[in-house]
Amino acid sequence: MWYSCITVKQIDDAIVAQVTTDSQSPWFSGHFPGDPILPGIAQLKMVTDIIGRALEKDLHLIGLTRIKFKKLIRPGVVLDIHANSGKQENSYSFRITSNQEKVCSGTLTLAPPYNTLVQQNQ
């Protein structure tokens, strides 16, 4: 795994997690050699994984709105992830912080994999 979960909790409608990125992650070797930062898509995947883990569901990202990247994430940084159910079905507003500074925020729309949906409808 390219990040480690320190904690993941579900409290009412909120999901709260603390993670740290692995300095040996391939995300860092390709983005950018000599000055590694975690790409935005990796941040969104991490949030998707954390929500799925908390809900005990296999979820995939199917939509994004109002995504804002505010701060670079370097290897080994501890991140706090906060997610809440959004106004729309299957949507989750989230924010990633580090040392109480906003790193990334926005809204994700998540769903089970397509083949799971097909099986459920049969």
User: What is the per-residue pLDDT for 31?
Assistant: 81
- d(CA 82, CA 75) in angstroms, rounded, equals 20
Residues 88-105, mean pLDDT to the nearest whole number: 95
Phi first, then psi: give them for residue 53, nearest 5 degrees. Answer: -65, -45
Instruction: Name the band, by pLDDT with cuts 50, 70 and 90, for residue 115.
Output: low
Whether this prediction's pTM lies above 0.95 is answered by no
For the purposes of burial, counting CB atoms within 10 Å of the CB of 17, is it exposed (0-12), middle (13-18) or buried (19 or more)? Answer: buried
pLDDT digits (tens, 9 = 90+) for 52-78: 999 999 999 999 999 999 999 999 999
Mean pLDDT, residues 31-41: 90
Going edge to edge, which strands form the sheet with 101-111? 3-11, 14-21, 78-85, 91-98, 101-111, 60-69
In whole numbers, what is the pLDDT of the chain averaged over residues?
A: 90
82 catalytic, yes or no? Answer: no
Kindly state the percentage of the chain with pLDDT values over 90.
Answer: 73
Give the pLDDT of residue 117. 44
Nearest to 86 by CA among 66, 104, 109, 63: 109
Quickly state the pLDDT bin for 87 (edges 50, 70, 90).
confident
Report residue 29's pLDDT band, with 50, 70 and 90 as the boundaries: confident
Q: Which residue among 16, 31, 85, 112 is the active-site one?
A: 31
| Domains identified in the chain and CATH numbers | 3-120 (3.10.129.10)
